[in-house]
């Protein structure tokens, strides 16, 4: 197929067939491609030369904004000094340096770092560490993993099994022995909450229910996103995470926070664990780890989990797990340069400074056609729209396309708009986002 032959990038009749795009309606996209060709600061530039304000930090990852020369130069230097080195039974200095740097900003005690190549790999790694931990402390019957409805934990088989998004699961097989907590979305009781939702802390007791159902001695770990992102921005009800922590601790179940989107300043603190003041046993990260410049993930492990596995004679491999690209030198260089920017520009806390302005701006959309809820935290917003009768998701998609054509990149999950701009966003850029979304809402019923 030669789609959209009038398109500048396709003037040479460049075919689009070879690239099988992820999480995309390929045939629809290829009839009217949206191509981003360059980026700097808060803006993308489309291949047709128009400016597109980045309302989503790419995919929740470009927290320091685009095209940062500090990161590009650090990566280039590293590639010329040491492009790649194996990480199995070998090491290279920058991986140790980066892990040390991360340990310094980690929530207290979560300072043993396992590098991966993505969020999905971080999730699978954390689940495996949890299983290995339970086994090594003599609780080998604890093989069950618990996730949550509407959770997103990437696309590995571990991640889709504990995940709770039906489209990501139903075509594929899931791991056996997985169960799910109920999700926390309760529009009826919590609609247009300006702070954390007041109702729903008791939903954490679902973990207690699963303990009664399966027996604590079968459960290794529970994994949740502290703020659920991909499902459309669901904030934890007041007291929910505390209660989950408490129940997990009482029953010897490890608590994993999936901080792939909340890590690195998204909520106005380095991690959501800091924001909520709750310490998980394991924390999965990726995305903002390198400002999205190179693929990389990291699992932050608490000392007690890590140390329990440091057993046996010194020549024992403690965890039979790892990736060719674990601790990739160029990704470590990108990550250290990103950390330098985050700290020197105060980006870990910028979300807190801006959160009131952000919230007021988003709530100015209340009352617009079809807006049935608005949720904000830090520099994240979810704007939920009434689905069209018999055509769920189409309104969200039409608004997404309309915003893009008017110069704003948003993300939609079904009929929920999710916004998560780079943390360098300025107030006038927030105003621009809101005005483009407002006019899209007014136009598209
Ligand atoms: N976990 C969460 C909470 C995510 O939001 C994502 C991606 O959006 C992932 C895991 C998967 O990350 P990746 O796409 O890097 O594999």
**Helix H or strand E segment including 255:** strand 254-258
Q: Which two tokens stand for residue 235?
A: 């904030």
* Domain residue extents for the chain: 34-64+346-443, 71-344
Binding site membership of 118 for ligand 1 (Cβ less than 6 Å): yes
Banded model confidence at residue 333, pLDDT cuts 50, 70, 90: very high
Which atom of ligand 1 lies nearest, measured to the CA of 154? 11
What is residue 3's predicted lDDT score, i.e. its pLDDT?
A: 41
What is residue 15's predicted lDDT score, i.e. its pLDDT?
A: 85
What is residue 2's predicted lDDT score, i.e. its pLDDT?
A: 39
Binding site membership of 302 for ligand 1 (Cβ less than 6 Å): no
What is residue 434's predicted lDDT score, i.e. its pLDDT?
A: 98
Rounded average pLDDT over 201-220 = 98
What is residue 60's predicted lDDT score, i.e. its pLDDT?
A: 98
Binding site membership of 158 for ligand 1 (Cβ less than 6 Å): no
Q: What torsion, rounded to 10 degrees, do the Cα atoms 156, 159, 165, 166 define? A: 60
Banded model confidence at residue 150, pLDDT cuts 50, 70, 90: very high
Which atom of ligand 1 lies nearest, measured to the CA of 123? 10
Q: Do residues 341 and 71 make contact, with C-beta atoms less than 8 angstroms apart? A: yes
3 state DSSP class of 375: strand
Same fold, 34-64+346-443 and 71-344: no
Binding site membership of 119 for ligand 1 (Cβ less than 6 Å): yes
Rounded average pLDDT over 22-48 = 96
Best substitution site from 62, 120, 262, 291 to test ligand 1's pocket, by max atoms within 8 Å of Cβ?
120
Banded model confidence at residue 5, pLDDT cuts 50, 70, 90: very low
What is residue 437's predicted lDDT score, i.e. its pLDDT?
A: 98
3 state DSSP class of 346: coil
Pinpoint the alpha helices (H) of 19-176.
26-31, 57-60, 69-81, 93-105, 119-136, 157-162, 166-169
What is residue 4's predicted lDDT score, i.e. its pLDDT?
A: 43
Rounded average pLDDT over 216-235 = 98
Banded model confidence at residue 14, pLDDT cuts 50, 70, 90: low
Is pLDDT above 70 for 8? no
Q: How far apart are the CA of 155 and the centre of ligand 1, in A? A: 8
What is residue 177's predicted lDDT score, i.e. its pLDDT?
A: 93
What is residue 7's predicted lDDT score, i.e. its pLDDT?
A: 54
Is pLDDT above 50 for 270? yes
Q: Do residues 273 and 279 make contact, with C-beta atoms less than 8 angstroms apart? A: yes
Contacts of 384 (CB under 8 A, 6+ apart): 187, 232, 371, 372, 373, 374, 375, 415, 416, 417
Is pLDDT above 60 for 12? no
Q: pLDDT, tens digit, for every residue of 246-264? A: 999 999 999 999 999 999 9
3 state DSSP class of 87: coil
Fold adopted by 71-344: 3.40.640
Binding site membership of 120 for ligand 1 (Cβ less than 6 Å): yes
Best substitution site from 153, 224, 295 to test ligand 1's pocket, by max atoms within 8 Å of Cβ?
153
Best substitution site from 125, 151, 287 to test ligand 1's pocket, by max atoms within 8 Å of Cβ?
287
Banded model confidence at residue 445, pLDDT cuts 50, 70, 90: confident
Round the average pLDDT of the chain to a whole number and report it.
96
Name the CATH architecture for the domain at 34-64+346-443. Answer: Alpha-Beta Complex (3.90)
Going by CA atoms, what residue is nearest to atom 1 of ligand 1?
153
What is residue 9's predicted lDDT score, i.e. its pLDDT?
A: 52
Rounded average pLDDT over 287-312 = 97
Q: How far apart are the CA of 120 and the centre of ligand 1, in A? A: 6
Q: How far apart are the CA of 59 and the centre of ligand 1, in A? A: 9
């Amino acid at each position: 197929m030669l789609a959209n032959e009038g398109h500048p990038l396709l003037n040479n009749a460049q075919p689009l067939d070879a690239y099988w795009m992820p999480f995309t309606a390929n045939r629809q996209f290829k009839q009217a491609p949206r191509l981003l060709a360059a980026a700097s600061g808060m803006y993308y530039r489309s291949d047709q030369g128009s400016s597109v304000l980045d309302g989503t930090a790419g995919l929740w990852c470009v927290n320091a904004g685009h095209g940062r020369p500090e990161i590009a130069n650090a990566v280039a230097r590293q590639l010329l000094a040491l492009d790649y080195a194996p990480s199995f039974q070998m090491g290279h200095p920058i991986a140790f340096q980066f892990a040390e740097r991360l340990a310094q900003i980690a929530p207290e005690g979560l300072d043993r770092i396992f590098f991966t190549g993505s969020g999905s790999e971080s999730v699978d790694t954390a689940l495996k560490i949890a299983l290995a931990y339970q086994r090594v402390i003599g609780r080998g019957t604890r093989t069950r993993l618990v996730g949550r409805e509407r959770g997103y934990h990437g696309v590995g088989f571990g991640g889709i099994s504990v995940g709770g998004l039906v489209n990501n699961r139903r075509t594929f097989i899931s791991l056996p022995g997985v169960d799910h907590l109920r999700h926390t979305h309760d529009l009826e009781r919590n609609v247009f909450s300006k702070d954390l939702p007041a109702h729903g802390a008791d939903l954490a007791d679902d973990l207690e229910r699963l303990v009664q159902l399966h027996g604590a001695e079968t459960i290794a770990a529970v994994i949740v996103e502290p703020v659920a992102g991909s499902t459309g921005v669901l904030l934890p009800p007041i007291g929910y995470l505390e209660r989950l922590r408490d129940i997990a601790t009482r029953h010897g179940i490890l608590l994993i926070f999936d901080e792939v989107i909340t890590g690195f300043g998204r909520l106005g603190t380095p991690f959501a664990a800091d924001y909520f003041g709750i310490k998980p046993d394991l924390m999965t990260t990726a995305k903002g780890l390198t400002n999205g410049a190179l693929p990389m993930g990291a699992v932050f492990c608490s000392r007690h989990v890590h140390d329990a596995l440091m057993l046996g004679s010194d020549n024992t491999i403690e965890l039979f797990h790892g990736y060719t690209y674990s601790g990739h030198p160029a990704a470590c260089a990108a990550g250290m340069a990103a950390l330098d920017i985050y700290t020197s520009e105060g980006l870990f806390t910028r979300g807190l400074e801006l959160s009131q302005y952000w919230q007021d701006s988003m709530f100015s959309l209340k009352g617009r056609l079809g807006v049935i809820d608005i949720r904000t935290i830090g520099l994240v917003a979810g704007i939920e729209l009434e689905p069209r009768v018999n055509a769920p998701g189409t309104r969200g998609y039409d608004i997404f396309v309309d915003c893009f054509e008017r110069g704003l990149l948003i993300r939609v999950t079904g009929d929920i708009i999710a916004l998560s701009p780079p943390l360098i966003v300025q107030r006038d850029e927030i105003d621009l986002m809101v005005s483009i979304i407002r006019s899209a809402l007014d136009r598209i019923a």
